[in-house]
Structure 1
Amino acid sequence: MIPMLLSRGAKGVPAPAPVDFATLTLPPTPNTCLLTPGTAPGIGHLHRDPYPVTPDQAFAAIRAVGAAQPRCFPLAEYPGRRQAQWVARTRLMNYPDIIVAEVAPAGAGTGLWLYSRSLIGRSDFGVNRARVMTWLAAFEDRLRQG
């Protein structure tokens, strides 16, 4: 755990792998937040209807949102599945959180899966949910702007 806290950016966190949202099992701890399309089967804390844009437009928008976030660093990208991952570091303690975003056709549009989780600790005092809501608002703003 100490190397994770002493590292900067995306360094020091476990090696990334694509997240399969169809088989994802959320941990029993309250330090995660998952947003899924309302049309997607499975688990999720929050749900949004699919967006009336192409998957490529949605992927470009969510990547731009991630690039604009403070203390947020690219971790991995899987263009074939339109999935990107970032590490966000807390300001005071440098704790790393992982954010995963994926877009895919869903219903009559494009669905967004947005997953934020802490790597350290049991509770996050609502930080991951707040992050998901912030990213979601920024994503929707970008889509409106075209």
Structure 2
Amino acid sequence: MSAPIGALLGRGAAGLPPAEPVDFTRLVLPPSPNTCLAAPPGGHAQAHITVPPLPVDAATAWPVLRRLGEGLPRTYPLAEWPERRQAQWVARSALMNYPDVIAAELVPGPGGAGLFLYSRSLFGWSDLGVNRRRVEAWLAAFEAALRRR
């Protein structure tokens, strides 16, 4: 069931359908170019960006990941599943207030945690590279936050 467009254009996380965790092992990316997926090496066949193993384990990186969206413009917490070490946020576009959903999950891996980071538009076909730029910026912010922890 999809919500009417007017309901999705609320403020913050309001108006969005209930959040569900992303199963990155079964995730199939849409044919539209308005998504970006970063994944650990070999973590997903459709990944746009490969994220090297983190220098810490998933338990150590989890509190840093949870704070990742804090202070970013028009970005709001959407949901968390601590048992999966997955968090989601909604980011609203400046001009039209359209919502994009960002999901991140830490997984155990050899030599450090693996990170999945997925940003997707809920509307439209093309995002003019917004989701890829967001994923790249969030990866850089996460790396910097891990160094400061």
What TM-score do the two structures reach when normalised by structure 2? 0.93
Q: 1:11 aligns with which of 4, 9, 14?
A: 14
Deviation per residue, 1:23-57 (Å, 9 max, x gap): 00000000000000114243211001111202122
* Divergent runs of 4+, >4 A: none
Code of the residue aligned with 2:15 in structure 1: it is G
Total equivalences in the alignment: 145
Question: Are the equivalent residues in 1 in contact too, given 2:61–2:146 (CA < 8 A)?
Answer: yes
Distance 1:77 1:85 in 2: 6
Percent of aligned positions that are identical: 54
Higher helix share: 1
1:72 lines up with 2:70 in the alignment: no
Q: 1:141 aligns with which of 139, 144, 148?
A: 144
Give the structure 2 partner of residue 49 of structure 1: 52
List alignment gaps of at least 5 residues for structure 2.
none
| RMSD of equivalent CA atoms | 1.1
Code of the residue aligned with 1:45 in structure 2: it is H
1:2 lines up with 2:43 in the alignment: no
**Worse-matched range after superposition: 40-49 or 121-130:** 40-49
Deviation per residue, 1:53-90 (Å, 9 max, x gap): 02122121122111231111111100000000011001
What TM-score do the two structures reach when normalised by structure 1? 0.95
1:32 lines up with 2:67 in the alignment: no
Code of the residue aligned with 2:6 in structure 1: it is I
Give the structure 1 partner of residue 24 of structure 2: 21
Q: Give matches, 1:84-99, under 5 Å.
A: 84-99=87-102
